[in-house]
Structure 1
């Protein structure tokens, strides 16, 4: 039914209205009757070219006279720039997106082991989401707003944009679980409204394995903490962060093993590294640099007491040798050597690198330690680094 003047409805008419539809009282006030017979009031207002329907309550609890009064109050508030829905939400304790994001960050940061991730998680939202809709109530953050914030950096900063998308979604899902909004965002709809990104795979620049024996000779020509740590990275095929944060309590040099605890592993599970004789000799040499008799003491201490080496210390060691590759790239060097110069199976190399294997059959096989097989592999790798070749390890090119 249409509406042109105030007062089209009567209390009797409201009571008698049973057919699903919209019944106009005038001046934007409507009685809505649902398919199940439920009745409610809304007032339709228009401001700055934007039309909105604002609920005024159930008709079973709000009589016609009160509905008209509430409609008038809403129109007055809108006219002076007050958003009645936002005010109502604030009174109910519904946070803004900014406030919700900070709560999510506070609740989750204890479970994040990476300090850099803790800082970046919130800073990404502060840089790209908060300026767009940070002060909007979490209940009112909609797909168009999120899509526009993502679109601003979607092609220019694709990796950052993908992280932003995930973090916005986490905040929204949290708000749904807390009862601050009725539904999550329709992310598939947002994704379809964004341009297609061109996949760019960035690999760490690696020293070719053919250059490695000569590189090791140059590396060992002089001694510094950065060079010693870099040698450990190469001999163990570990990540530079795992080496820089290694403690004496993790090493068992008599058993020639290094047990990296789960909290320092990317995959979140303990990794046992079998140490070659060259690696054991290197760690024994590090005893000279040991500053305190504690299992928690760092094997490769930084200049400041109790502080680890920075990743740039290892990078600087390479730059001083005239190399442009990265310390992390030695894991690729190791993997390429296994694939192209040996007959060792690929899954053994993946286990040595502590990679998570998606194939369930291979993953089940890897649950066994495979320690002795990996010990043979790492011994062959260390020998290759020293310049040894031949034996039944090297597979000659056809």
Structure 2
């Protein structure tokens, strides 16, 4: 017999049938919830219809009617609801999903706040309510154009963060493709930075496509030198002047003497698998003496910086600089949550604070090994 309102209110622990598979389940603690028992493909299936606190007897019967009909028609309403949610998932919802899970692992609270504030200020007004599966290059360009030239550094970071969220959405199944980086590059001209000391840097999300283009091109000494510079985040002059005797392949380390460094301090560079492979290939081309240049230029002399610039431009890097890849690496390290000290050490930057510098006795070589391997993996994505 069907349950009455009084029976529902006074129901004790156990299951109470309302007929047609609808049950009122009462736990030992007194909590009451609705369950519908149906047959799907010959197997019994229990479907939760909600708590009595939120679903009345009349509402439970209506929900049960809808579920029974769906079961007869072979429709899983939960699956259909999930599909509907995915189809309507907004960029803001996808972003908040990424922020809640990915950023919680970062110890740098300031970095977490920067992510949230930049998205709220520059991305959400244009992209927030768009379906994340349909966000494309023109939409992103529309969001970035107001700050692309006036706040170039912020614009570059926002662009990278948008791309990260779209890649996250793709991994979750909320969109069928990754961020449209190549298409976006045709809509936004490279940022020309005028301030002294700044170099137009390729957004790190674009680096994998650029590296892939170089890998697909004909192997040359210039190409290998640029690849090596990207993978090690080293300065152009350090790479172009590298000699065989500076490498300890057994230890996987490149040791650059102090006199060759900008700050006149010895610098150790851990070699990723990809960087080490380039060195091993170079060893087969050059002489066996320690003084042999790893990437010799014309007539065996030190390669010119112009050569690397030509390789960069020839492979789709027009508008950017070789030195800018150091900034690409630095942005990647920050976005991935690596220690600032490790990243600065990788770039051979000197600690400006004299007190801190006096007490620092490490270059974080061991920690940087894993970081540079991860950077190489990101570049070869």
Q: Normalising to structure 2: TM-score of the pair? A: 0.47
More helix by share: 2
Higher Cα Rg: structure 1 or 2? 1
Q: Normalising to structure 1: TM-score of the pair? A: 0.45
